[in-house]
Amino acid sequence: MTDQEILSGLAEIVEEIAGVPADEVTPEKSFVDDLDIDSLSMVEIAVAAQDKFGVEIPDEQLKDLKTVQDVVNFVSKGV
């Protein structure tokens, strides 16, 4: 799976769960500061990402995943 594929898959999840249009989910964006996603929705996004990409995201990792690129990198390493 390419980084671009991970990004577009993640963007779909974020749109579904948090209502942020997928084209606004770009690599440099911070989930909290730019996309206005709260910690509860972040948990839901992480679970959906685990299901979609088959990569476990432990809680202690999740708190370090601040930007869209951070998640893409994490998934990319795990795939």
Partner 1 sequence: MSKADPAGGLLSVVVTGLGATTPLGGDVTSTWSAMLAGTSGVRRITEEWVDRLPVKIAAPAAVDPVAVVGRVQARRMDRCEQLALVAAREAWADAGAPTVDPWRLGVVVTSGIGGIGSTLAAYDTLRDKGWDRISPYTVPMLMPNGAAGWISIEFGARAGAHALVSACASGAEAIGYGIDMIRSGRADVVLAGGAEAAIMALNLGAFAVMRAMSTRNDEPERASRPWDKGRDGFVLGEGAGVVVLESQAHALARGARIYAVAAGAGYTSDAYHIAHGAPDGAGVERAIRYCLDDAGLSASQVVHVNAHATSTPEGDPLEAKAIQSALGAAASGVIVSATKSMTGHLLGGSGAVESVACILALRDRMAPPTINLDDPDDDMTIDIATKPRPLTPPADGSPMAVLNDSFGFGGHNVALAFTEYSGG
Burial of residue 68 (number of CB atoms within 10 Å: 0-12, 13-18, 19+): buried
Looking at the Cβ atoms of 19 and 54, the one nearer to partner 1 is 19
Give the binding site for partner 1 (CB under 8 A).
17-19, 40-41, 43-44, 47
CB of 18 to partner 1, least distance (A): 7
CB 32 within 8 A of CB 64: no
CB of 58 to partner 1, least distance (A): 12
Q: Is 38 a catalytic residue?
A: yes
Annotated catalytic residues are 38
